[in-house]
Amino acid sequence: MDVIKAVQNYVNKMIDEVAGMKVLLLDTETTPIVSLVATQSNLLTKECYLIDRIDNRDRDTMRHLKCLCFLRPTSESLQWLIAELRDPCYGDYYIYFSNTIRKSDVERLAEVDEHEVVREIQEYYGDYLAINSDLFSLGMDLPDYRLFGQGIKDWDGYTFDRSVQGVIAALLSLKKKPIIRYESVGSMGKRLAQEIQYQIQQEGQLFDFRKTDTPPVLLILDRRNDPVTPLLSQWTYQAMVHGMIGIQNGRVDLSNVPDIKKELKEIVLSPDQDPFFKKSMYLNLGDLGANIKSYVDEYQVKTKSNMNIESIADMKRFVEEYPEFRKLSGNVSKHVALVSELSRRVAQEKLLEVSELEQDLACNENHNNDLKNIQTLIADDNVTEEAKVVLVLLYALRYEKAPNNSIKTLVDLLDRYGVSEHASSLVPAILLYAGHGNRQGDLFSNQSFLSRGRSAFKGLKGVENVYTQHTPHMGETIDLMLKGRLKDTTHPYVDGTAVPPTGTSRDRPQDIIIFFIGGATYEEARYVAQLNASTPGVRIVLGGTTVHNTHR
Amino acid sequence: MSTLATPSQQKQPKQAFNYQDYIPADSEILCPICQVQCTSLQRLNLHLDQAHNEEETKGDLISWFKNAQKKVLTPLTQKSSSSASTPPVASSISKSFNQILEPNFISNLSINGAQPMFTPEMEQQMEAVRRDHWQRETGQDRCSEPHCGKTLGRGSAGKQHCYHCGRLYCADHTRYEMKLNTSAKHDPGNGIWCRACHTCYVSRDGYLDNEGAIRSRTALFLMRRMKTIDRVHLESNKLEKRLEKLAKIHTSTDTSSRLEKPSLLKSATLGSGSDHLVVQRTTSASSIDSIGSLLSPKANSGSNGNRLMSIGLKNRDAEKTVVAWDDDRSVLNCPLCNKTFTITNRRHHCRLCGRIVCSNQTCSSMIPLFLDMSSDSVDQAPVGETRACKDCKRMVFRRKIQKEEMTKPQPILQLYQQLSATKVNIEKMLPRFQEMVMMLERNEMSKQSHETFKLAGQVRKSLLDSFATFDAISKRINMLPAHSSSMRRLQANIHISANHYLQRNMFPLQMLPRILNPDSKPKKGTKGNGKSKTPSPHEQAEIDDLVAQLAAFDEQKMLVAGFVKDAQRQRKFDDVRTLKISLGELEREIDRLQAELAKWS
């Protein structure tokens, strides 16, 4: 249950299977998939000397090379491949598709392969972006992919197909044939669940895996049920970097940072290749600071020992350790730059204050106080426009049903302080998307008397950290599921999964795959990672159509 | 439970109530844990208290109680039914009894009630899972989990057996559950939930498997391709035959025109005619080297138009006999690019298939004619040229181009093969050498014989040689003339990866002199004492040693110089300073060694 390893395994298998000088051809969508799990030098050592895109038709003919194609079976990629096979640049072709390919498409390819260059056609199901070992995304960000088709409760056709394919690929690569449950609110989850179930039945042979003690569970959640989590500012390393700067396919673009060094304009953050990042990606800013300090100290000790070279033995040691040392120095400067940028932004944009209020809004009910605080922060020039809108959004979500709410006044206030029309129009939009009527479950714990009591009790206990008191709504769902108490009414099974509910509902699921329609967050990823570490015998993988930050 | 009730009902048909019914027959009383026979319930109770007073048996005890209760209750319900003689009532009574026995009721009694998984039904079944492989308890047991080592049964540590491997663990390390069958083997289908340790839990088949599913579509593809290939072969055979015919036509008209020419034309035109011929010869001679270049557009760009026109007109009727030409009027657009034919965009017939196409370079072009298409020899001169559409062109030369590419040597390929061979060689030698070094290090200087030393030195030398060849080849690959940018990139990348490889694998080599150095000193001493009379071999050894050291330092110097360059490029001036210092040190050392060597010689 490790998505990075699963995709890595596919890539390695591809490269190892073919000996000799090779060229790797990718398409627009497989390029980030491969780049997240493999490095250039990694590919070089395995005799993969050239990497190119299949849609680049200006490639030179080199018949002595073997060609690996790793493509998504989209119609465009197939078109390019057909053009390539008609007029092949390389000697042999080994074609790997990242998902199931239709029989008719195989036939089409066979028609055009007049030069007899194709040696293999395989399906390797690495069809998603493996971000952490327990987090994957389908990389469908807003401007290019729309989630909704007609109306707010309906899928966009392409996004829907891609989601189905992505989840199917994830299941195949993890070798899981799950029972599927979905959040009953809205029709999107149900449609996705049914389609996945249909596909599994269609490809019966493919899903014929070894029997496990308990069937794995695929749980499909809808972002609209928890609109709060992606809005909150985060304080753990990976989530913070994504929230403030943005991580795109494992890369962070620092070119907007004032006086940054040239080689740090774009950096790579990968838990797979960077042990320091792996160790500290879930630490909050305070612990991270301590951690990075010791990292720098370690580096300085090494530098010192490298500086005083007195004997020939020292010399030899130096030469042997130098490449490792150089790697370390690059890594140290990278993380120092990143963390200092984060703390600069925190100070400049008064993020501590904003975050405290955000957490208050998310966790505690205190209308008048909250309203007053929001008004002062909106008036503050240092707070970014984005943060102001987020505060109002949170307010609107929490007090939507309160009789004396003043959403209207707050929106007016936003306008008065020069927040753009587009941004303030998000407030009614979010209520339309994820307002009370569209949610299920008690997000703010203020619906029933009992949960009010519970939240009051939680307040009495006190919290150790004001900035991290919010836990994602998903946590509660998983907890219930692990205890076998997740109700069929809120999270029904797909019809035709054909499991006697008596037999399975009591069994504690051991492998869970969660898929978020509308995108997961790094906060949830952290929650899942912690749960994986603390709960013996349970493995959870989180996935989403994308990974959110507050920009949305 | 009702199923259990029925057999006893049959066994004891309507009898009056008596005390015997409360107690099951003697033979049926077995201890649920160790299967010891007990004469009565009281004895069993006693036995349980004495032999099984462990905490962990409580679950079993409860399940046993349940069994016993069941047996006790069955006659009672049966009795009441017989007395009332109204079955529905009886069933309702038995139901109410059963309700008392519902899992909740029992689990409330249970100490393990906190764990929802351990419902009594399972406990009951667990008797079936064998336990004879369990580790014996000694009272001083420690948790079998590595790094745990808690003494079991004390404080909060708890004491549990893993049902799968049978070893003892503390409660924390048996919080896993897996399904086992009666012989304590993993059985996801029919097994029952049992406590297991982490090791057994993760070593279930396929649990840590990272290999995703794959599906090969090659078979389907190859099957379909056979048809395509058959069709293509047929087609290209047909076209090749046509091309040969066309070539024959061209040679015959060519020779006849050459024969006619002197008679028909004056000396001036004869001169120009032979001139044409010369021109044609040279172009063909220059383009013999590859059909690919013959087929490329520029090959026929210099073709002489008016001569071709005249011959073309003459050939025209003959060419029509090879394949039936399409009627000019039937075609209005070029079938390939869909352009309408006009006065400027003329119709052209493909001589191989007879259809009409435009003269656009992508739609039709002039192709060279060969008399023998099936011959293996590539270097025959074309006898003329004619027009063909792009589809026919591709088909007709398919085989020839393939053949040509097979025979054409590629310098980079040969070099790369050498490179791979060297690499294989190195990889064979390297582990051997590392083993030797390890052995030398382990044995210290005391047992070191001169032979192993020598041997290691030899292996090291041959390894160094291999590395040198490896380096040289990779440099040659890098130096090869590249005719395209991607070729350039390919060569550079091969060179880079070769360098990476060298950097990774050369370091172990430097370990030997380090071991040699401290060793050589005491050795020198003993040797000097023992063999003071024969200094010459000793001196020779010294010189060899020095030479080896010098070589090693030279290597290092090269490496460090490379680092300096790298660091400068990356503007890491701190590093550059450190590196420069070490570079200076190295140079000094090399100078010293050279001076010493000079002294010896």
**Is A315 in CB contact (< 8 Å) with chain B?**
yes
Element (H, E) at A369: helix A367-379
Cβ-defined contact of A206 to B215 (cutoff 8 Å): yes
CA closest to A114 among chain B residues: B229
CA A455, CA B220: separation in Å to the nearest integer? 61
Q: What is the separation of C-alpha B302 from the centre of its chain, rounded to a whole number of angstroms?
A: 51
**Interface with B, mutate which of A121, A307, A535 (most B CBs under 10 A):** A121
Cβ-defined contact of A316 to B514 (cutoff 8 Å): yes
Using a pLDDT cut of 90, give the percent of chain A over it.
Answer: 2
Nearest CB to B215; choose among A123, A126, A323: A123
A56 located within any domain: yes
B526 located within any domain: no
B121 lies in the same domain as B156: no
Higher pLDDT, A411 or B19: A411
Nearest CB to B217; choose among A6, A44, A101: A101
A243 lies in the same domain as A198: no
- Judging contacts by C-beta atoms under 8 Å, the chain A residues touching residue B398 are 114-115
What pLDDT, on a 0 to 100 scale, did the predictor assign at position B203?
77
Structure tokens at B385: 């040229």
CB A437 within 8 A of CB A397: no
CA closest to A484 among chain B residues: B116
Least confident of A140-154, A359-373, B193-207, B575-589: A140-154
- Judging contacts by C-beta atoms under 8 Å, the chain A residues touching residue B394 are 114
Is the whole-model pTM more than 0.80? no
CA A186, CA A180: separation in Å to the nearest integer? 16
Average pLDDT, chain B: 66
Selected residues 234-293 of chain B with any CB under 8 Å from a CB in chain A: none
Selected residues 430-489 of chain B with any CB under 8 Å from a CB in chain A: 484-487, 489
Q: How confident is the model at residue B356 (pLDDT cuts 50, 70, 90)?
A: confident
Nearest CB to A107; choose among B224, B398, B578: B224
CA A117, CA A94: separation in Å to the nearest integer? 9
Q: How distant, in Å, are the alpha carbons of A178, A353, A481, B264 from that of B186?
A: 20, 55, 25, 100
What pLDDT, on a 0 to 100 scale, did the predictor assign at position B7?
43
**Is A126 in CB contact (< 8 Å) with chain B?**
yes
CA A508, CA A498: separation in Å to the nearest integer? 18
B37 lies in the same domain as B181: no
**Is B221 in CB contact (< 8 Å) with chain A?**
yes
- Judging contacts by C-beta atoms under 8 Å, the chain B residues touching residue A315 are 556, 582, 585-586, 589
Taking the CB of residue A106, how many other CB atoms lie within 10 A of it? 22
CB B400 within 8 A of CB B373: yes
Cβ-defined contact of B225 to A211 (cutoff 8 Å): no
Q: Please name the amino acid found at residue A344.
A: R
B279 lies in the same domain as B399: yes
A376 lies in the same domain as A440: yes
B301 lies in the same domain as B395: yes
Structure tokens at B484: 């395209």
Q: What are phi and psi of A249, to 5 degrees?
A: 50, 45
Taking the CB of residue A118, how many other CB atoms lie within 10 A of it? 23
Alpha-carbon Rg for chain A, nearest whole angstrom, is 26
Structure tokens at A398: 């929490």
CB B36 within 8 A of CB B45: no
Domain boundary among A410, A436, A468: A468
**Is A310 in CB contact (< 8 Å) with chain B?**
no
Residues paired with A121 in a beta bridge: A95
Average pLDDT over residues B29-46: 64
**Containing domain of residue A528, as a range?**
131-226+473-548
What pLDDT, on a 0 to 100 scale, did the predictor assign at position B14?
45
Average pLDDT over residues A422-434: 72
A375 lies in the same domain as A271: no
Least confident of A294-298, B84-88, B359-363: B84-88
Nearest to B196 by CA among B134, B254, B262: B134
A354 located within any domain: no
Burial B117-147 (b: 16+ CB within 10 A, else e): ebbbebbbebeebeeeeeeeeeeebebbbee
Beta strand A135-137 with A539-544 is parallel
What are the pLDDT digits (tens) for A434-462? 666 666 555 555 444 444 444 444 444 44
Look at residue B472 and tell me whether its pLDDT is greater than 60.
yes
**Is A174 in CB contact (< 8 Å) with chain B?**
yes
CB A545 within 8 A of CB A518: yes
CA A251, CA A266: separation in Å to the nearest integer? 7
- CATH number reported for the structural domain that contains residue A103 in this entry: 3.40.50.2060
B433 lies in the same domain as B451: yes
Cβ-defined contact of A107 to B503 (cutoff 8 Å): no
What sign does the CA torsion over A457, A460, A462, A463 have?
A: positive
B595 conformational bin, left if phi > 0, alpha if psi -120 to 50, beta if neither: alpha
Look at residue B23 and tell me whether its pLDDT is greater than 60.
no
**Is A313 in CB contact (< 8 Å) with chain B?**
yes
**Interface with B, mutate which of A118, A262, A310, A322 (most B CBs under 10 A):** A322
CA A395, CA A406: separation in Å to the nearest integer? 9
CA A521, CA A239: separation in Å to the nearest integer? 8
A123 lies in the same domain as A198: no
Domain boundary among A96, A127, A158: A127
Element (H, E) at B193: strand B192-196
Cβ-defined contact of B402 to A313 (cutoff 8 Å): no
Least confident of A364-368, A516-520, B486-490, B513-517: B513-517
Nearest CB to B510; choose among A103, A113, A320: A320
CA closest to A126 among chain B residues: B212
What are the pLDDT digits (tens) for B93-102? 444 444 444 4
Q: What are phi and psi of A63, to 5 degrees?
A: -70, -15
Cβ-defined contact of A111 to B589 (cutoff 8 Å): no
Give the best-scoring range by mean pLDDT among A313-317, A505-509, B425-429. B425-429
A359 located within any domain: no
Burial A343-369 (b: 16+ CB within 10 A, else e): eebbeebbbebbbebbbbbbbbbeeee
What are the pLDDT digits (tens) for A194-240? 888 888 888 888 887 777 777 888 888 888 777 778 788 888 888 88
CA A194, CA A493: separation in Å to the nearest integer? 10
Q: How many domains are contained in chain B?
A: 5
CA B199, CA B191: separation in Å to the nearest integer? 19
Q: How many domains are contained in chain A?
A: 4
A340 lies in the same domain as A426: no
* End-to-end Cα distance, chain B: 103
Least confident of A221-230, A373-382, B39-48: B39-48
Least confident of A153-162, A493-502, B30-39, B146-155: A493-502
B267 lies in the same domain as B415: no
B210 located within any domain: no
Beta strand B176-180 with B192-196 is antiparallel
What pLDDT, on a 0 to 100 scale, did the predictor assign at position A95?
92
Domain boundary among B407, B439, B471: B407
B226 lies in the same domain as B352: yes
Look at residue B511 and tell me whether its pLDDT is greater than 80.
no
- Judging contacts by C-beta atoms under 8 Å, the chain B residues touching residue A62 are 486-487, 490
Look at residue A308 and tell me whether its pLDDT is greater than 70.
no
What sign does the CA torsion over A409, A415, A419, A424 have?
A: positive
B502 lies in the same domain as B424: yes
- Judging contacts by C-beta atoms under 8 Å, the chain A residues touching residue B507 are 319-320
B236 lies in the same domain as B379: yes
CB B494 within 8 A of CB A23: no
- CATH number reported for the structural domain that contains residue A519 in this entry: 3.40.50.1910
Look at residue B2 and tell me whether its pLDDT is greater than 50.
no
CA B126, CA B193: separation in Å to the nearest integer? 8
What pLDDT, on a 0 to 100 scale, did the predictor assign at position A94?
92
**Is B190 in CB contact (< 8 Å) with chain A?**
no
What pLDDT, on a 0 to 100 scale, did the predictor assign at position A57?
78
Q: How confident is the model at residue A343 (pLDDT cuts 50, 70, 90)?
A: confident
**Is B213 in CB contact (< 8 Å) with chain A?**
yes
Q: Residue A93: is it exposed, middle or buried by C-beta count within 10 angstroms (0-12/13-18/19+)?
A: buried
User: Would you call A544 helix, strand, or coil by DSSP?
Assistant: strand
B76 located within any domain: yes
B435 located within any domain: yes
Give the best-scoring range by mean pLDDT among A232-241, A401-410, B140-149. A232-241
Across B352-499, the runs of DSSP E, i.e. the strands, are 356-357, 364-369, 384-389
Q: Please name the amino acid found at residue B531.
A: K
Q: Angle at the Cα of A19 (from A13 to A25), degrees rounded to 5?
A: 65
- Judging contacts by C-beta atoms under 8 Å, the chain B residues touching residue A10 are 212, 214
Residues paired with A516 in a beta bridge: A221, A544
Look at residue B55 and tell me whether its pLDDT is greater than 70.
no
**Is A328 in CB contact (< 8 Å) with chain B?**
no
What pLDDT, on a 0 to 100 scale, did the predictor assign at position A462?
44
- Judging contacts by C-beta atoms under 8 Å, the chain A residues touching residue B188 are 210-213
Residue A242: half-sphere exposure toward Cβ, Cα within 13 Å: 29
B381 located within any domain: yes
Cβ-defined contact of B205 to A483 (cutoff 8 Å): no
B463 lies in the same domain as B390: no
Look at residue B276 and tell me whether its pLDDT is greater than 60.
no
Higher pLDDT, B600 or B335: B335
What sign does the CA torsion over B146, B148, B150, B153 have?
A: negative
A232 located within any domain: no
A221 lies in the same domain as A245: no
Residues paired with A236 in a beta bridge: A284
Beta strand B160-161 with B168-169 is antiparallel
CA closest to B187 among chain A residues: A213
**Containing domain of residue B155, as a range?**
129-188+199-205
Look at residue B599 and tell me whether its pLDDT is greater than 80.
no
CA B334, CA B589: separation in Å to the nearest integer? 78
Q: Angle at the Cα of A543 (from A540 to A547), degrees rounded to 5?
A: 130
A18 lies in the same domain as A101: yes
B193 located within any domain: no
Average pLDDT over residues B234-244: 83
B374 lies in the same domain as B489: no
Residue whose tokens read 């297991």 = B196
Using a pLDDT cut of 70, give the percent of chain A over it.
Answer: 83
CB B560 within 8 A of CB B582: yes
CB B393 within 8 A of CB B421: no
Structure tokens at A168: 């199917």
- CATH number reported for the structural domain that contains residue B143 in this entry: 3.30.40
A315 located within any domain: yes
What pLDDT, on a 0 to 100 scale, did the predictor assign at position B484?
77
Structure tokens at B219: 């078979």
A358 located within any domain: no
A498 located within any domain: yes
Cβ-defined contact of A106 to B221 (cutoff 8 Å): yes
Q: What is the least distance, in Å, from the CA of B84 to any CA of chain A?
A: 35
**Interface with B, mutate which of A213, A308, A327 (most B CBs under 10 A):** A213
**Is A537 in CB contact (< 8 Å) with chain B?**
yes
B385 lies in the same domain as B456: no
What pLDDT, on a 0 to 100 scale, did the predictor assign at position A540?
82
Average pLDDT over residues A349-354: 79
What are the pLDDT digits (tens) for A96-148? 999 888 889 998 888 888 888 888 898 898 888 888 888 888 877 765 666 66
Nearest to A251 by CA among A239, A237, A240, A241: A241
A518 located within any domain: yes
- Judging contacts by C-beta atoms under 8 Å, the chain A residues touching residue B485 are 60
Cβ-defined contact of A125 to B213 (cutoff 8 Å): yes
User: Would you call B84 helix, strand, or coil by DSSP?
Assistant: helix
B529 located within any domain: no
Nearest CB to B582; choose among A49, A172, A315: A315
Nearest to B76 by CA among B96, B62, B94: B94
Nearest to A455 by CA among A439, A442, A472: A442
Q: How distant, in Å, are the alpha carbons of A16, A209, B437 from that of A10?
A: 10, 18, 37
What pLDDT, on a 0 to 100 scale, did the predictor assign at position A372?
83
A123 lies in the same domain as A138: no
Kindly write down the DSSP assignment for every residue of A158-217, as one continuous string.
HHHHHHHHHHHHHHHHTT---EEEE--SSSHHHHHHHHHHHHHHHTTTTT-PPP-SS--E
**Is A57 in CB contact (< 8 Å) with chain B?**
no
Cβ-defined contact of A122 to B218 (cutoff 8 Å): yes
What are the pLDDT digits (tens) for B577-594? 777 877 888 888 888 877
Q: What is the number of H-type helices and E-type strands within chain A?
A: 21, 16
What pLDDT, on a 0 to 100 scale, did the predictor assign at position B10?
43
What are the pLDDT digits (tens) for A57-72? 778 778 888 899 999 9
Average pLDDT over residues B333-347: 80
Nearest to B79 by CA among B137, B15, B35: B15
**Is A385 in CB contact (< 8 Å) with chain B?**
no
Domain boundary among A65, A92, A127: A127
What pLDDT, on a 0 to 100 scale, did the predictor assign at position A70?
92
B527 located within any domain: no
**Is B580 in CB contact (< 8 Å) with chain A?**
no
Cβ-defined contact of B503 to A536 (cutoff 8 Å): no
CA B389, CA A81: separation in Å to the nearest integer? 23
What are the pLDDT digits (tens) for B447-468? 556 667 777 777 778 888 888 8
Residue whose tokens read 């509308």 = A518
Q: Residue B532: is it exposed, middle or buried by C-beta count within 10 angstroms (0-12/13-18/19+)?
A: exposed
A65 lies in the same domain as A103: yes
